[in-house]
Amino acid sequence: MTVVSPVRPTGGPTDPGRVVVVGAGMVAHRLVEQMLARGEHAAWEITVLGDEPYRPYDRVHLSEFFDGRDADALALAPTVWDDARVTLRTGDAVASIDRDEQVVVTRAGVRVPYDNLVLATGSWAWTPRTTGIELPGVVSYRTLDDVSALRDWIQAREDTLGRPLRGAVVGGGVLGLEAASALQRLGAHATVVEFADRLMSVQLDEGGGETLRVRIADMGVDVRLGTGATRLVAAPDGAVGLLVLSDGSTLDVDVVVFSTGIRPRDRLARESGLAIGERGGVVVGPTCRTSDPFVWAIGEVASYEGVCAGLVAPGNAQADVVVDQLLGGTAEYAPAPEGTKLKGVLHDGVPVEAASFGDVNALTPGALEVTFADPVAKTYKKLVVSDDARTLLGGVFVGDAALYSSLRPMLGRALGADPSAFLAPEGGAAVPSADLPDDVVVCSCANVTAGTVRGAVTEHGCTSVADVKKCTKAGTICGSCVPLLTKLVNTQLEASGVEVSRAMCEHFPMTRADLFALVKAEGLRTFSEVVAAHGTGRGCVVCKPVVASILSSLGVGHVLDPANAPLQDTNDHALANMQKDGTYSVIPRIPGGEITPEKLAVIADVAREYGLYTRITGAQRIGMFGARLEQLPAIWQRLVDAGMESGQAYGKSLRAVKSCVGQSWCRFGVQDSVGMGVRLELRYRGLRAPHKFKVGVSGCARECAEARGKDVGVIATERGWNVYVGGNGGFTPRHAELLAEDLDDEMLLRVIDRFLAYYIRSADRLQRTAPWVADYPGGIAELRKVLVDDTLGICEDLEASIAAHVEAYEDEWAATLADPVRLARFASFVNAPDTPDPDLAYTPERGQVRPARLGEVSDPNPVIARTIAVRPSDVEMEDAL
């Protein structure tokens, strides 16, 4: 064999030359991105070799695969692969490294010579030795192929068994809980089996673990602690059927996910004779060089001081070090204290929060623990501080991890306030941000410090959070630091003399509330008038719908007026809510949740005829999904003919009034909550507001309608009604606060009229009532004075504006169907008005359809799609043979 000395392509001996990266994961991508970003005039070319068939993808958000994000959508900024100096080879693993010849050889036999070799092979999913682990239906949860296999298995197995599946996840760590949530989302029941005495045992203390267990159990996931998997037993047809646990009990299972930890993929390094750490991994020093000066290691395969990192942030930091070293710099890797945050675990679509950093178990001598646990709200927060209570040593947050992103950068630093002040449920100490030292890491994923963020503003001319994200990459990976980033950027902008704009957009220099007052005072009636008087340009997606909403609230510009048509976003334009594939949902109003069998039959007929996916919505209504733009008028004609009307499920307006069954039937009810619910719904239907709003009515203090989670909550008392305002479910849940007590029916309506009219007048764009009430100067007490005691003398005016709305109400769909001009909007194509969008495709799921994902068996017609076989049947298979 001829030995060929590696010859550098061009350039001098200090240039990086031919850089070969083994492994095409997130840190490999980071390395390439940084090489390009540095833009220095050194001679180099990079070849990245990956065994997976995909471009490097965002493994952090792997679970979003189940939301339809495929390999392309999850791919990390793919433009780096377009650079002429960069080559990416996927789907071919490296088989061996010849360090003497400085060449790697792939399984396919391709020989790639290198001047510098970077090992970025990552980890593999370790599983304990368990009998039966090879059975069909047992999977890992680490790669795109894993999650794809999991989805396919669940679909196929569900078809075979004809019932929802029973799933188990072995391992109750961050990834295991994410897998359990994924099982649920795929329609399977999930049990989590964890050998330790708590969930997230590496990151949480006992109290945090227990609170998380309650939260996970609330999701409907069974949690089995203190036991492990011993063996798996096959069902009669050979697939996995039973999981035997170490405590002797068993679980019936149709699918099992193992998530029991990771190990560095260091086989190549071992076989090529590089130094390997005691617990695995390629030994590197602070420069990230291995025992061979021409070989580097970064990410989870690199063992620094005996530890392999298991997160993306240290790997990115190491990639940056190697880039700097390759370009002749002297950067060194210093492990930053890391935190962990649970992600991708959803309870009814809302993330379950759990996070920690630092000395979680207060093992530092003299460390003090300050804990706030709320078993009702199911939150647990703990700060660990030094013996003088000054220095932050660690934190645990479960149920509400808002403090995590703001306090984690303060680790090892002076807190600046009494630790308990941070944990107080309301009126907590202001989280530090402005005075954060420059060297504090704000975004640990992209390894961006507070100083870098400030520099982006002062030296690189960034004038917004979006600019800073683009410039520094901060906040672009897991996103948990964005609130802190925003504060930091805005503070810096103000300090630099840049006025932080309160402008709605580039066309209007004022807030929505200020514009509302101007439009009202000056009696403006069209967008053209408004923009001529107070704005510039021709508007945009921000200000046009705001002006449309203001005009509608003032009763001068109906949603359907032709002059307003260009202002409406597609939902208000089509009077339907756009779904992910461009079709719409159809949701008729069902006041009080009361519906006759006759109306139900019409809904059933329509859904069957048009092949619409049908479900009960969260607002006690029936939604039909998948209606094409050109089908909406015919569908609504049927519903309107049957006595139904628009439910405004598409508008920034009243959605629905939820009520319990109340006095009429319930043995505890003290008022007629359904009757009041219907009355409120018919009063406020169609009312446009800065954001959508919801109302709830409970017939007694047991609060079965969950009214305090609504924008307006009404709860019956022996003497009348209590009204609460500013509640919210959604992303930031908040209980509504008491505005007035023991009102009779008429006074209740007047108080709600005033509240809604005042909110519509003075809230910011897209500001829901919860933050509006919370931010109102003086809070609920002051609002009570204005709305109940009428201290500003505006209540009459507020009531009049609602009265005008009630007077002018018409069903938007009935009005549209009666108007040929408006009906012309509902054409799929201007030159083929009834031709369906040829790209729509549906696939069957649980007896109905959903939009098909890439590569699935599908049909453009949802009625047909409902009956297609997902897999070739056995007969077809035989035919094919």
Partner 1 sequence: MTRWTPVCELAALDPERGVAALVDGVQVALFLLDDGRVLGVANHDPFSGANVVSRGIVGTHGERTTVTSPMHKQVWDLVTGECLDAAGKDPVDLAVFAVEVRDGTVHVGS
> Interface with partner 1 by CB under 8 A: which residues?
77-79, 466, 469, 476, 506-507, 537-541, 544-545, 562, 565-567, 569-571, 573-574, 578, 580-582, 629, 824, 827-832, 835, 837-839
Minimum distance from residue 785 beta carbon to partner 1 (Å) = 39
Selection from 638, 652, 626, 553 nearest residue 588 by Cα: 638
SS3 401: coil
Reported as half-sphere exposure (CB side, CA atoms, 13 A), residue 374 has a value of: 13
Minimum distance from residue 536 beta carbon to partner 1 (Å) = 9
Report CA Rg, the chain: 30
Minimum distance from residue 19 beta carbon to partner 1 (Å) = 23
Pick 82 or 874: Cβ nearer partner 1: 82
Selection from 244, 268, 239 nearest residue 255 by Cα: 239
624 and 585 Cβ atoms separated by less than 8 Å: yes
Pick 334 or 823: Cβ nearer partner 1: 823
Taking CA atoms, 107 is separated from 46, 50, 96, in Å, by 20, 11, 8
Pick 797 or 856: Cβ nearer partner 1: 856
Pick 101 or 561: Cβ nearer partner 1: 561
Minimum distance from residue 312 beta carbon to partner 1 (Å) = 18
Minimum distance from residue 550 beta carbon to partner 1 (Å) = 16
660 and 699 Cβ atoms separated by less than 8 Å: yes
Pick 469 or 805: Cβ nearer partner 1: 469
Pick 53 or 582: Cβ nearer partner 1: 582
Selection from 791, 787, 797 nearest residue 520 by Cα: 797
Q: Cα(107)–Cα(96) distance, rounded to whole angstroms?
A: 8
Selection from 796, 763, 587 nearest residue 688 by Cα: 763
Amino acid at 737: E
Q: How many CB atoms lie within 10 A of CB 731?
A: 9
* Eight-class DSSP state of 308: E
Q: Which residues pair with 720 in a beta bridge?
A: 717
Pick 718 or 839: Cβ nearer partner 1: 839
393 and 362 Cβ atoms separated by less than 8 Å: yes
Minimum distance from residue 558 beta carbon to partner 1 (Å) = 16
Q: Cα(598)–Cα(167) distance, rounded to whole angstroms?
A: 40
Pick 70 or 845: Cβ nearer partner 1: 70
Pick 53 or 78: Cβ nearer partner 1: 78
**Interhelix angle for 779-787 vs 745-762, to 10°?**
120
Pick 556 or 565: Cβ nearer partner 1: 565
Quickly tell me which residue has 């092979």 as its tokens. 121
Q: Cα(774)–Cα(776) distance, rounded to whole angstroms?
A: 6
- What are the structure tokens assigned to 426, written together? 């309301």
Q: Cα(645)–Cα(804) distance, rounded to whole angstroms?
A: 20
Minimum distance from residue 431 beta carbon to partner 1 (Å) = 24
Minimum distance from residue 56 beta carbon to partner 1 (Å) = 14
Pick 330 or 831: Cβ nearer partner 1: 831
Pick 541 or 881: Cβ nearer partner 1: 541
Pick 558 or 694: Cβ nearer partner 1: 558
Minimum distance from residue 401 beta carbon to partner 1 (Å) = 22
Quickly tell me which residue has 């645990």 as its tokens. 396
Minimum distance from residue 643 beta carbon to partner 1 (Å) = 30
Pick 35 or 407: Cβ nearer partner 1: 35
Q: Which residues of 775-785 are buried (b: 16+ CB within 10 A; e: fewer)?
A: ebeeebeebbe
Minimum distance from residue 469 beta carbon to partner 1 (Å) = 7
Q: Is 876 left (phi over 0), alpha (psi -120 to 50) or beta?
A: alpha
Pick 409 or 545: Cβ nearer partner 1: 545
Pick 733 or 833: Cβ nearer partner 1: 833
Q: How many CB atoms lie within 10 A of CB 391?
A: 17
Burial (Cβ within 10 Å: 0-12, 13-18, ≥19) of residue 11? middle
492 and 509 Cβ atoms separated by less than 8 Å: no
Pick 821 or 880: Cβ nearer partner 1: 821
Minimum distance from residue 837 beta carbon to partner 1 (Å) = 5
Selection from 196, 179, 200 nearest residue 355 by Cα: 200
Amino acid at 602: V
Quickly tell me which residue has 């109905």 as its tokens. 848
Reported as half-sphere exposure (CB side, CA atoms, 13 A), residue 831 has a value of: 0
Q: Which residues pair with 308 in a beta bridge?
A: 303
Minimum distance from residue 838 beta carbon to partner 1 (Å) = 7
Taking the C-alpha atoms of 297, 303, 304 and 305 in order, what is their torsion angle to the nearest 10 degrees? -150
Helix (H) or strand (E) holding 104: strand 103-106
Q: Cα(744)–Cα(720) distance, rounded to whole angstroms?
A: 5
Minimum distance from residue 703 beta carbon to partner 1 (Å) = 36
CB-based contacts of 376, cutoff 8 Å, min separation 6: none
Minimum distance from residue 581 beta carbon to partner 1 (Å) = 5
Taking CA atoms, 198 is separated from 261, 360, 395, 478, 759, in Å, by 16, 14, 17, 25, 45
Supply the DSSP string of 558-596, one letter for each residue.
-TT-GGGGGGS-HHHHHTSEE-TTS-EEE-B--GGG---
Minimum distance from residue 544 beta carbon to partner 1 (Å) = 6
Pick 539 or 677: Cβ nearer partner 1: 539
Minimum distance from residue 54 beta carbon to partner 1 (Å) = 16
362 and 384 Cβ atoms separated by less than 8 Å: yes
Minimum distance from residue 851 beta carbon to partner 1 (Å) = 9
